[in-house]
A and B are shown apart, each in its own frame.
Chain A
Amino acid sequence: MKQPQQTIETIAVEDLINRVHSFHDDGYRLVQISCAAEGEAFEVTYSFDKDLTLTHLRIPASPDKPIPSISRIYLASFVYENEIADLFGIPFTGIAIDYKGTFIRTSIPHPFGSSQISVVKKKPEGQHE
């Protein structure tokens, strides 16, 4: 258990672009963007790396509130943003290479999105035992 503790700083969507800009200027590398459900809503987390230490920024998200894309600062973000848009149905505005829902094609739309989660909840707990 020698792994470092991680802190995740939650910020407002409005501050995102500014903060990411300063990470870029300080020479951080974009490691990943991930999305997870948090209660009824979602949270999107951006991870940066410098000198092998991870720093995380987190913003709240929901399917009806678009998130500004950071692909103008870190071009690489386009893969993660398209992925989140396809799997969670969370829209991003201004992605440099926007696949418009064809990056990961799935049999059901937005398998991780809100409608899906309520379906999972209706199932009785532990039905697999």
Chain B
Amino acid sequence: MSKQIIVPFGPQHPVLPEPIHLDLVLEDERVVEAIPSIGYVHRGLEKLVEKRDYKDYVFISERICGICSFIHGATYCQGVEQIMGIEIPRRAEFLRAIWSEYSRMHSHLLWLGCFADGMGYENLFMNCWKVREKILDVLERTTGGRVIQGVNRVGGVSRDMDAAELKRILSEIPSLRDDFTELTRIFDEDLTVQTRTKGIGILPKDKAWDLGAVGPVIRGSGHAVDVRSTGYGAYDELDFKPVVRDEADCYARCMVRAEELFTSLDLIENAIDRIPAGDIMVPVKGNPSGEYYARAEQPRGEVIHYVKANGKKNLARHRVRTPTLANVPALVQMLAGCELADVPVIVLTIDPCIGCMER
């Protein structure tokens, strides 16, 4: 038997935009075991809920992570609205869905770019980010913020889109679809991408379920787990079908995200088609009391916002189970038995968002 050595990976590694640390136990070039350690970006923001008004806390929940910030804010609001028994206007739910899908596209494009960069394909990285700017333009035009939108409120949303804006969004979709087709074609056909991803980082179907993976990770392993199918918010009125692949490798996870770009466009068209007229916010009085596990589908998977309140204006507890944290056990499984050179690519395929994970 050959000798085992431990190689540290991270916390500062060129492929990682954020600090995460892994101890890799190696036997020759093969990884036997990977032990993650985190804590480099832990802020402790869940504790702030005891100091802030529950309405103001929406803005902090949006800053759990700057990439899926909109959905964090919306899910927190969903939880509080649920325990307070508030029924928010239908139009607000549709607007939340539209913005959620835009956030998803921006996040997936960001990831596809970083992934390309991780494989050493810088040109593709730049192209993904170029298309992503178009998404950010829409977000900025409609909400005022590029990455942190700040339009969620307990009781609805603070900004509306008028008919002209909705029409404009619709008219831009065909060109976005063309851009996406071109990008996914490269991911689908390019030889470099294929050799770096196919058959690598396998997460078997049963293991994926057992390890509680979420999002594109579990959908890339053949399970149709997507919280949007539960029809929260406006999703019950939209035609949604989760994207599932069976290959269970890095390629599958990459293609799930690529295909979800198109699902998002369809959902937006759908939503604009069916959005009802009306108010966008209801007044909220009193303080919440009760507890609820609100959940939603983020670009990285299912997120759980637990809110617990006891009639004060500060909540008693806010707890976020972010998708990256749920995907860590699956990552450990994928890394066992892979080659050292594949580690960066595999780590990237769970789309690690450390800001989320450690809060």
B139 CB to closest chain A CB (Å) equals 26
Q: Tell me if A122 is interfacial: C-beta within 8 Å of chain B.
A: no
Q: A75-B329, A78-B329 are in contact. Are A36 and B316 (CB under 8 A)?
A: yes
Q: Which interface class (under 10, 10 to 19, 20 to 34, 35 or more) fits A?
A: 35 or more
Q: A1-B81, A1-B85, A104-B39 are in contact. Are A75 and B306 (CB under 8 A)?
A: no
Query: Which stretch from B123-131, B145-153, B164-172, B230-238 is at the chain A interface?
Result: B230-238
Contact B326 A1 (CB under 8 A): no
Contact B37 A103 (CB under 8 A): yes
Q: A1-B81, A3-B294, A52-B230 are in contact. Are A106 and B44 (CB under 8 A)?
A: yes
Q: Tell me if A47 is interfacial: C-beta within 8 Å of chain B.
A: yes
- Give the chain A neighbours of B294 by CB distance below 8 A: 3
Contact B42 A3 (CB under 8 A): no
- Give the chain B neighbours of A112 by CB distance below 8 A: 46-47
Contact B306 A103 (CB under 8 A): no
- Give the chain B neighbours of A75 by CB distance below 8 A: 210-211, 329
A57 CB to closest chain B CB (Å) equals 12
Contact B50 A47 (CB under 8 A): no
Contact B321 A32 (CB under 8 A): yes
Q: CA A32 – CA B52 in complex, angstroms?
A: 25
Give how many B residues have a beta carbon under 8 Å from the other chain's beta carbons. 51
- Give the chain A neighbours of B313 by CB distance below 8 A: 126
- Give the chain A neighbours of B217 by CB distance below 8 A: none
Q: Tell me if B298 is interfacial: C-beta within 8 Å of chain A.
A: no
Q: Tell me if A115 is interfacial: C-beta within 8 Å of chain B.
A: no
Contact A6 B293 (CB under 8 A): yes
Looking across the interface, which residue of chain A has its beta carbon closest to that of B43? A106
Q: Tell me if B295 is interfacial: C-beta within 8 Å of chain A.
A: yes
Contact B317 A37 (CB under 8 A): yes
Q: Please, what's the 1-or-0 string for B213-256, where 1 marks a CB less than 8 Å from any CB in chain A? A: 00000000000010101111100100000000000000000000
Contact B231 A36 (CB under 8 A): no
Contact pick for B236, options A2, A31, A52, A125, CB 8 Å = A2
- Give the chain B neighbours of A29 by CB distance below 8 A: 209-210, 212, 225
Q: Tell me if B87 is interfacial: C-beta within 8 Å of chain A.
A: yes
Q: CA A76 – CA B50 in complex, angstroms?
A: 29
Contact pick for B326, options A2, A34, A37, A76, CB 8 Å = A76
- Give the chain B neighbours of A80 by CB distance below 8 A: 321, 325
Q: A34-B321, A120-B50, A128-B51 are in contact. Are A79 and B42 (CB under 8 A)?
A: no
Which among A27, A76, A99, A103 has the greatest number of chain B C-beta atoms within 10 A?
A76
Q: CA A35 – CA B316 in complex, angstroms?
A: 12
Looking across the interface, which residue of chain A has its beta carbon closest to that of B86? A1
Contact B229 A52 (CB under 8 A): yes
- Give the chain B neighbours of A30 by CB distance below 8 A: 212
Q: Tell me if B38 is interfacial: C-beta within 8 Å of chain A.
A: yes
Contact pick for B38, options A34, A78, A97, A103, CB 8 Å = A103
Contact B212 A3 (CB under 8 A): no
Q: Tell me if A19 is interfacial: C-beta within 8 Å of chain B.
A: no
Q: CA A51 – CA B81 in complex, angstroms?
A: 24
- Give the chain A neighbours of B210 by CB distance below 8 A: 29, 74-76
Q: A79-B328, A104-B42 are in contact. Are A2 and B231 (CB under 8 A)?
A: yes
Q: Tell me if B308 is interfacial: C-beta within 8 Å of chain A.
A: yes
Q: A104-B39, A128-B52 are in contact. Are A111 and B47 (CB under 8 A)?
A: yes
What are 22 A-to-B residue pairs whose CB atoms are below 8 Å? A1-B81, A1-B86, A1-B88, A2-B232, A2-B233, A2-B236, A32-B326, A36-B317, A49-B225, A56-B293, A75-B210, A75-B211, A76-B210, A76-B212, A76-B329, A79-B326, A103-B38, A104-B39, A111-B47, A120-B50, A126-B313, A128-B51
